[in-house]
Chains A and B, each alone.
Chain A
Amino acid sequence: MTYSAVVGTRCYRFADLKEVLAKAGPARSGDALAGLIAESAGERMAARLVLADLPLRRFLDEALIPYETDEVTRLIVDGHDAVAFALLASLTVGEFREWLLAETTDEVQLAAVAPGITPEMAAAVSKLMRNQDLIAVARKCRVVTAFRDTIGLPGRLAVRLQPNHPTDDASGIAASMLDGLMYGVGDAVIGINPASDSMAALMKLWRMLDDLIGRFAIPTQSCVLTHVSSQIRAIEMGAPVDLVFQSVAGTEAANTGFGIDLAMLREAREAALSLKRGTVGDNVMYFETGQGSALSADAHHGVDQQTCEARAYAVARHFKPLLVNTVVGFIGPEYLYDGKQIIRAGLEDHFCGKLLGLPMGCDICYTNHAEADQDDMDNLLVLLGTAGVNFIMGVPGADDIMLNYQSTSFHDQLFVRQVLGLQRAPEFEAWLQAMGLTDQGGRLLPARSDHRLLSDLTRGIS
C-alpha cells in the first residue's frame, strides 16, 4: 500500500513501508550510498508524519523482507509475543513514543512489553525520537545478564578488556591485559580479536586466558573473537571456551555473507552451554553488530541501515547473550560519515537493543578516514553512560594496533565512572578490592611495583 503526507505546499508519496522508514531516518551516508535517503528535508518530515500516524500493528501485517525468503523475518514473525504486545496494540508509532517517555512507564512495564516489540517497531519509533528521548527511554530499560559476574545492574558499567596484538604475540597480549587489569578493566569480558585463524594459534589464546582467569580467580569470562564455526570446533577439541562470539546482521543474506545461519548459532550456543563454565549465570553468547553490515554485503533488500541493524538484535535476542556490542564507527565513513552520524547511530542502536530486551554495549569508535576524533568519542561516552549502557570497550590508549581503529581507553572508563558515579560489576568490584587495586569506593589505588599481578605476569612473560 502507498502512503502520503503534506509538508509545506507539497504532497509526498511513498511506495511502501520500507520507503517510509528509510526516508524518515536522519541523513547518513550509508542510506545515501544505497539510494534510500530522503531527497529533501521536507520529504524527510513527510515520512516522519506518515510514521507518526502509522498503527504499530501495521508492522505485523507488512513484512519489509519476505517471510518466505528470509529466516530473520521468520524468526521475528514466529517469535512475536502477541500477549506482550496487547498493551501496545492500539497505539500509533507517535503514541508509542509518548508512552515510552511517560513517567508512568517504568522498568517493569518495559521488560513486560519487550517480547511484543519487533525490531521494525523499535527502529520506527527511534526515527521519531531526539537524542534526549533515546537516552531517557534507554535509561529506564534494565537488562541484566550473568556468567561469572553480573552485568547491567543499575548504576554500573562494565568494560571489555581488548588486548589485541597484530601477530597474536603472547607477551604483547599479556602486557596489554596487565595494563587493563591494573586500571580495573575487564568485567564484561577479556576478549581478543585474533589476527590468525589457525586453530593452533587460537587454542593458545584460549588456554592463556583460561590460565590467567583461573590463577587469579578473576570473576570474568574470556572470548576469542574468531568465526563461530572455529569456536564450535575448538569446543570439540577441548578448548576452555567461556563465551562464543559472532558478528550477526539483520538479514539472512547478510548472515550468509558472514558464513553463518541461525542453526549454526544454535549449535554453538548448545556447545558452550554443555561446558557449564558459568558460575553465576549461563548467558554464553557475545554478539557484535553495526549499521551498514547488510548494505556492505549487498544484502539489505532496500531496507535502511538502522532498521537492518535493529533486525540483527532479533537474531541476538533469540540466543540469550551475555553481551551485544554495536561496533558503531568501525565500518567507515561510507556508512556513518562523521562524529554527528556516529553519535546518533550509537544512541539509536543502544536504545533499540535495550527496548528489545538486549544487554547492549557499544564500541564507541571511529576510523581515521571518518570525520571524527576523540572529542566525538568523549561526547558519545558521556551520552551512553547517561543512557545506562551495559558495557564499553577498554583498549590501551584507545588505539587498537591490530584492528587499526580508535575506541575508548582504560583512562576513558575511569573518567566516565568518575563523572557519572558508575561502578563495576559487583563481583569484579569485590575482586579488585581484595587484590588491593581499588579502595572501598572503587577508586584506583596508587599502583605498586611489587603487586602480585604485576610480578606474576611479568615472570610469565619473560
Chain B
Amino acid sequence: MSTSIKPDPWQHLAALTAARIALGRSGSSLPTRAVLDFDIAHALARDAVHQPLDVGDLTARCREQFALDVIVVHSQAGDRLIYLQRPDLGRRLDQAGVAELDKRSGPVDLAIVIADGLSATAVQAHALSLVQALLPLLDDLQVAPLVIAEQGRVALGDEIGVLLKASLVLVVLGERPGLSSPDSLGAYLTFAPQLGRLDAERNCVSNIRDDGLSPVVAARKLAWLVRAALACRLTGVGLKDESGEAPPLMAVVSRLPGANE
C-alpha cells in the first residue's frame, strides 16, 4: 500500500457485509485498487447484460440432461438495443415462435421457459441446475416441452403458456445484474397465464446464485409454490410462501414499479 493512502482502521468489519466498506482513501478519492475492483465488477455486469445467450450450447445441454423436447423461440425484440428500450416487444413472441408453439398439443400442468432476461451469464451458470433440481420434485405432473426464449422478459411466458395450454408457466431468467451479483437468476410463476397478467399475479423467487439462494433450495421453494398454485388455482399476492425454506422468499426488489420487469 502506498504512503498516499489513508487506510480505514475497521477492515475487520468488512467481513460482515458484501458492501464496499473500509476502502481507505487518497485525498477524497478511492485508492487505485478499489477503483479497478469497481470497474471490473461493472465490466462483468455489462457483459452479463450484453453478451448473447449461447442458445446452441444451452439447447444441447437441455436435450442431454432432460427427458423433454426443447423449443427455441424469439421475442419481437430483434436485438439487445431494442430489447433494452422496448420492454413491450420483449413480452411478445415473434411470428415464427407463435407458429412453432401453436403446433403443440396440450393441455399440460406446467410449462417451463428459460429466457436470457437481463443476464445471459446467470442463465448459463444456474438455469440448468435449477431445472434439474426441480423436475424430479414434479415428476407426477404433465410438463410441456422446455422453451428457450431469446430477448425475453417475464411476461413473454404468458403468451407461451397460452399457446402450450399450460395451467402454470414458470419463467426462469437472468435478473438485472448488480455490481456484486452479475449472475443472479429469477424465477416467476404464473397461474392461468394470459396476455396482460399483472406482476401482482405472479410469485417470484429471486437472487438464485451461489452466494444467494442456491438452485437446490430455490427448486424446493418453487416445487412448493407449483403445488400450492395448482391446489389453490392462483398465484400472486394471494399465495403466500409457507414452504419454510430459509431464507424467506424475497420480494421483487423495486422502489419504482416496473424496475425489474
Which A residues contact B (CB, under 8 angstroms)? 29, 32-33, 163-167, 169, 171-176, 178-179, 182, 193, 195-198, 225, 247, 257-258, 288, 290, 292-293, 296-297, 327, 330-334, 337, 367-369, 373-374, 396-406, 409, 411, 414-415, 417-418, 446-449, 454, 458, 461
Contact = CB atoms under 8 A, between A and B. Distances in A.
Given A182-B8, A396-B20, A167 B88 contact: no
B85 A447 contact: no
B253 A402 contact: yes
Contacts of A293: 256-258
A404 B25 CA distance: 24
Interface residues of B, number: 56
B251 A197 contact: yes
11 contacts: A165-B17, A166-B18, A193-B255, A225-B255, A297-B257, A330-B255, A337-B84, A368-B42, A368-B48, A368-B177, A448-B9
A179 B13 contact: yes
Contacts, number: 183
B179 A330 contact: no
Nearest to B259: A331
A91 to B, nearest CB: 34
Given A178-B13, A292-B256, A414-B25, A404 B38 contact: no
B247 interface: yes
A247 B256 contact: yes
Given A163-B19, A368-B179, A369-B84, A195 B6 contact: no
Q: Summarize B's interface: helix, strand, loop or mixed.
A: loop
Given A369-B84, A454-B9, A458-B13, A331 B19 contact: no
Given A297-B257, A414-B28, A415-B29, 15 more contacts: A29-B85, A175-B14, A182-B8, A193-B255, A247-B256, A292-B258, A331-B259, A332-B259, A368-B42, A374-B39, A404-B177, A404-B181, A411-B29, A411-B30, A461-B16
A198 B241 CA distance: 13
A285 B29 CA distance: 33
Nearest to A258: B257
B19 A396 contact: yes
Contacts of A369: 49, 84, 118, 176-177
A73 B34 CA distance: 48
B255 A288 contact: yes
A458 B13 CA distance: 8
B173 to A, nearest CB: 13
Interface string B111-149: 000000010000000000000000000000000000000
A27 to B, nearest CB: 12
